[in-house]
Amino acid sequence: MRNLLIVLAMVVFVVGCGEAKKTDSAKSSSAEDKASMAAAPIAANPMIAAGVQHLQQGEIKDAIKSFDEAIRENPKDVQGYLILGQTYMHLKEYNRAIDTFMVATRVEPENGEAHYLLATNFGLAGNYEMARLQAQKCVEIFRRTKDENNFKRSVALLQGLPQVVPQAQTQK
């Protein structure tokens, strides 16, 4: 079941991040593909752009430093948290990703993407109760904002999470 959840989460993550338009030069490596997905909406922040450049070059520690600096410079910009959290997620550092996405949801409580990524990481970390709560939150946000594609992928995430059985029932 855990392997199924991990596969589901990774598929949803890859599909859910959206794809940037690719040029011939951007098709050369998967690291460039991943970085280009995030680069389009955040190119306005030079520290995030520098972090994306580091990711493209495989310099993960330098990328994280750039994303941290972008957050220090503008702690109200949720994009820094989202890309830093996704970097931790890619590194399978789920607890660090959770911490980062938690801050993102405090900065921008109605950001469905932040709740979606938080739900995914809670699921990957095995905390299905919190994963379901966050998945329900992003479903509600995307329903309310009439974002059909994100609503559908959020529903798929929620349906793919195991049901949480209260402990009182398991002790009988």
Per-residue pLDDT tens for 22-40? 233 333 333 333 333 344 4
**Contact, 127 vs 51, CB < 8 A?**
no
> What is the reported pTM?
0.73
Per-residue pLDDT tens for 59-104? 999 999 999 999 999 999 999 999 999 999 999 999 999 999 999 9
Please, which contacts does 138-147 make with residues 24 or more away whose CB atoms are closer than 8 Å?
A: 138/112, 138/113, 141/110, 141/111, 141/112, 141/115, 142/112, 145/112, 147/112
What domains are defined for the chain? Answer: 2-17+28-162 (1.25.40.10)
45 pLDDT band, cuts 50/70/90, is confident
